Chain A
Amino acid sequence: MADLVIPRHILDDIVTHANELTPYECCGLLAGNDGIVSRLYRIKNIVAMEGAQNLSSFDSAKAAHLERLSPAERAEIAFVMDMQDFSTAKKDMRNSGLDLQVVYHSHPHDPARPSVTDIKIATDYEEIWPKINLPLPAYLLVSLMNTEPDIKTYWIKSGRVTPVDVLIR
C-alpha cells in the first residue's frame, strides 16, 4: 500500500505550473482524502514582495542572502506562499471535505530534493500544522534542471528526510 496516490493529470499540472513560472519557483498544495490526492491548488509565490523574507522562517543567513538579491533573483531560489491564497485554499478544502496531503514547489535550477532551507522550515512548521488544524503534509519537489522534469516526494520530520512511496495512476 503506497503512502500517497497521485493522479497522473495532477502531476502533469504541477509540471505545467513549474514550467509556466520558470526560472522562478512555483508553489502549491495538493488535497485529498486518506492519502489519495484529488485536487491541486496553485498558491502565489510572493518572495519578491517587500519584507516577505523577514517573516517566513528563513534563517538569518538565508534572509540576509535574499536581501542582497533583486526581487526577481529571490524568486529563482526561494518561495514564500501568499497566505491569502493559502486561506482561500484551506477554506475550499474544508467546504469540500478534503484534507491537505502535500505541499509542492519547484526547483528550476536544482535537483528534486529538499534544500537545507526547505528542511529547516518544514521542521519549524511541524508544530504549526496542528495549531491551524491541518495534518502534517508530504513535500513534493519538481526539478526542471534537466530536459525531463524530475518529481520526488518526501516526509520531513524532526529534520529527517525520508522518501514517500507514491503510486501514480
Chain B
Amino acid sequence: MKKTYSVEVDCANCAAKMEEAVKGTPGVAAATLNFMTLKLKVEFEDGADEAAVMKEALKRCKKVESDCEIFF
C-alpha cells in the first residue's frame, strides 16, 4: 500500500532528516520526502496499520525536527 501525505518543514536538510526518520519507522517499507513539493510518499509493509504507523512516524520526525508536521 502506498500513500501520499502533505508535510510542513522549513529546510531541505530537515526534510532529509525526516525522510530518514520515517524510513526507520516499523511498518514502513519505503519512504521518500520531496522537499520541493512538500509531499511524503510512504509505502507500508503488508498488514501495517496505517494510522498507527503514521502516528509513530510523526513522533520520530518531531524528535529530529521539532518544527515539522505531517498531515494524515
A, B assembled together:
no
Contact surface of B with A, Cβ cutoff 8 Å: none
